[in-house]
Amino acid sequence: MKVYFPEDSYHTPDEAPRYFFDKIALGSRYYFHYKFIRQVLASKKLADAGKFDRAQWALASYNIFKIIEGCGGRFHLTGLNNLIECPKPVVFVSNHMSTLETMVFPSIIAPRMKASFVIKESLSMHPLIGSIMIARKPIVVKRVNPREDLQAVMSQGLEMLEKGRSVIIFPQSTRTTKFIPEEFNTLGIKLAKRGNVPVLPIAIKTDFWENGKYLKDLGAIKRQEHIHMAFGKAMEITGNGKEEHKLTIDFIATHLQKWGTHIG
């Protein structure tokens, strides 16, 4: 499978080409939405036909990555070699700001290893992306009963890890540009400990793509906001996992502060 980001870091070149129609769109979001929805519909067609495999997932994600760049997005990816150094599946734990990371992570992670998201039930039933998400065998949680969600993640997550598939978890209850450490749950740490696999922290700043007021996935884009994604080193869970949880929060908070995001 093609690896789209073979180096330890990637930074959108200053001379990266911009779509002509985006240039003349007078700063609006609409050309970006048009390109994004076209890619989603193409992926949905494959998913509905049972042909949306891991390679197609990674390619569709990379296409969205390039659409974002073509509409003025500027990426800064670091720590990618930490994915290569994982000898076994991991639990990825990331903060969650927008739709962007859900769409872009597969282009970075899937070429390196098999992986699945933990997603809200509403995403699995989404008229546009529902069949796409289901095609990649996610863990679905309802976000109504925390105990039931914990059981679902533990049982399905352990099964995935045993089969060599990594799990991507957003411990915050919803997408938000704020990072409040106290609201960052330990679900990923608990799964990694139970599965005897490392946890790998990811810090992201993706407020380039805002959450929409009426359609959450189709918010405005802020071309002045650079997109940051930092992948940390995988950590084995020792003891009760409190230290690794603290290190994960510190990793995310430190990067967000460096990128100019308020903590707390």
Parse the chain into domains and list their residue ranges: 10-257
Query: Could you give the dihedral angle defined by the CA atoms of residues 183, 184, 185 and 191, in that order, rounded to the nearest 10 degrees?
Result: 170
SS3 content of the chain, % helix, strand, coil (to 5): 45, 15, 40
**Contact (Cβ atoms closer than 8 angstroms) between residue 136 and residue 58:** no
pLDDT in tens, 78-103: 999 999 988 899 999 999 999 999 99
pTM of the model: 0.94
Give the chain's radius of gyration (CA, Å).
18
pLDDT in tens, 7-47: 999 999 999 999 988 888 777 899 999 999 999 999 999 99
